[in-house]
Structures are given as structure tokens and as C-alpha cells.
Chains A and B, each alone.
Chain A
Amino acid sequence: MSGHHEHEETTMSPYAMRIRAIEALLLEKGVLTEPEVQDSIAYMETRSPANGARLVARAWVDEGFEKLLLSDAKAAALQLGMEPEHPAEFVVVKNTPGVHNLIVCTLCSCYPRAVLGRPPDWYKSFEYRSRAVREPRAVMREFGFEPPEGVEVIVHDSTADVRYMVLPMRPPGTEDLRENELADLVTRDSLVGVNVP
């Protein structure tokens, strides 16, 4: 990593430059080591929305697993070989024909990173964070989704020690699909609730 620094500096944003400077200082002072930084990057890169898609697809085909996912999401993730360990709780909320869930973190960018990896950039934007709580239906419309008439919208603001993920409804007409094919339908946006599969 350090070998790239000089080359990158001409195009780095002030924030990226600040982070590089802090990283260099932490390494210099011995607070962090280069392998620790690499391990941390590797950790985040092994997490992705594909994990969420696998959890959802299994829940769609296995009622017992759905119960576990909704009552103890970390145990469910462990069962599929993921490493969901994180100081914060991990909670999955279920969409039903009468209820649609939307996740936001108005204070910063809390997200179930231990399972899904880094949040999308829009999730961290001031616009999403302020509008998702105030006009969730308008936000979803802009993502191309409008909850049907009569459906309640519940917004979850992850303000403290819980990270949330949505369990979307299985789309109609998917009865013949296998579990891995179902997982392919589950988008990152649908795990946040701004859209549906």
C-alpha cells in the first residue's frame, strides 16, 4: 500500500489525504502495524451483500431458518458459515404484505458491516440520512419502488447498538427457483429496504 502513496496524491481528496496522513502517523508511532491494516482491509473485503442474499434465500426456502434469522440473526449467519461477530447486535426485520421496512442511520453510517461489508455511498450521504426518516416514501420512489396502497412503512433509525437488515418478501413466480437462483434476486438495495427484489 505505502508504495502507491506518492503516485496517488495528485488525485486524492483532502479527506483521503488526511486519512493517509493519520494512517502513516499511527504506523510510525507503532499504534498499528502494516499487517493489521491489511487484515482489516481483508476483513471488510470478505463481507458483501452476497452474505445477506444467502441469508434471505435460505429463509425463503426454510421456515425454521427464517425463525432463527428473525430471532437470532448472528446464530443464523454462523449457521451459513459467516463470521457475524461484532460488538453491536444484528437484527433482521421482515417485510410482509402489510409492512415494509426501511433502514437508515441518521447519525452516521451504522450498517451491518460484519455481514454485508461497507455500506453504499448513498447510504452515508446527508441527503439519504435526512430524507429517509422524513419522507421515506419519496426516497423509495426515487429508487424505483412504491409500496402498494395500504402498506405501512416502518423506518428503523439505527441510532445506537443494533445493526439492521431487511428480509424482503419472496417475489411471486419464483416457486421453481433453487436457493442459489433465489439469492441472485436479492439486491443490496432490497436489504436496506429502498427497493424490493
Chain B
Amino acid sequence: MTFEPGDRVRVLPSAKPGHVRTPGYLKGKAGWIESMIGEFPNPEELAYGHSGLPERPLYKVGFLQSDLWDDYEGNAEDYLYADVYEHWLEPGEGGTK
């Protein structure tokens, strides 16, 4: 699955243990692909002495703050970017800026 800027995505609600670079507060949350950052060795493998190859695509993913927190205090337009690896994303329906 490859994503394009503007695609709606959802972060997998996986409880995978270990050196995971997907923060818990984003799991299961929907957002949009802002851009593709590049391909990098998989940190979940790299952290344990493996090569991390093949490299994994990393995306800049946007989330409306109001989609992340029920009681968000701030403008409805406020949003958050996080860098999320492709294997943590699936197609989804969420808000967009």
C-alpha cells in the first residue's frame, strides 16, 4: 500500500511491543498524508542490531487536534504532524485541514 499526499489514513491500533516509533496517542486515529518524507531503515529492527532493511517509507501525517482529543482547548483548525511509517497506516476516514 502506497499513499499519496491528501490520502485519508488511519494509524493501526497495534500493540506491537519494542522500539516502536508510533506514539500511543495516535493509535487508531485518523488523519491525512501531508507528504512522503523518504525511506529509512526500519527502527523497529535497527534498534535490536538488525539492518532494518529493506527501508520503509516514512510519511508526514496530519491530524486535527479535535480528532485526537475530545476536550481539546484551542482553535478547531489546530492540527498536529507526526512522522509515521507506512506499515503503521491503513486507508481511513478522518478530518483534514
Q: Which residue of A lies closest to B23 (CB)?
A: A106
Is there a chain B Cβ closer than 8 Å to A136's Cβ? yes
Q: Given contacts A106-B23, A107-B21, is CB(A136)–CB(B78) below 8 Å?
A: yes
Docked pose: A178 CA to B29 CA in angstroms:
47
B 56-81 binary contact with A (CB < 8 Å = 1; else 0): 00101000010011001111011111
CB contacts (< 8 Å) of A153 on chain B: these are: 74-75, 78
- Check A159–B75 contact: CB distance below 8 A: no
Collect the chain A residues with CB atoms within 8 Å of residue B85's CB: 160
Query: CB within 8 Å of B: which of A86-100?
Result: 89
The number of inter-chain residue pairs (CB within 8 angstroms) is 72
Closest chain-B Cβ to A46's Cβ sits at a distance in Å of 27
B96 within 8 A of A: no
Size class of the contact patch on chain A: 20 to 34
Chain B interface, number of residues (Cβ within 8 angstroms): 26
Q: How far is the CB of A128 from chain B (nearest CB, A)?
A: 14
Residues of chain B with a CB closer than 8 A to A161's CB: 37-38, 40, 43, 58, 83
CA distance A150 to B82 in the complex (A): 23
Are B81 and A156 neighbours in the complex by a CB distance under 8 Å?
yes
Task: Kindly state whether residue B25 has any CB partner on chain A within 8 Å.
Answer: yes
Q: Is residue A189 within 8 Å, beta carbon to beta carbon, of the partner chain?
A: no
Are B43 and A160 closer than 8 Å at their CB atoms? yes
Complex formed: what's the CA distance from A153 to B81 in Å? Answer: 11
User: Is A157 a contact partner of B75 (Cβ separation < 8 A)?
Assistant: no
- Sample of 18 further A-B pairs with CB below 8 A, known A89-B37, A157-B81, A157-B83: A107-B23, A133-B25, A134-B69, A135-B72, A136-B74, A152-B75, A152-B78, A154-B78, A155-B78, A155-B79, A159-B84, A160-B43, A160-B85, A161-B37, A161-B38, A161-B40, A161-B83, A162-B60
> Residues of A with Cβ closer than 8 Å to B?
89, 106-107, 133-138, 150-162
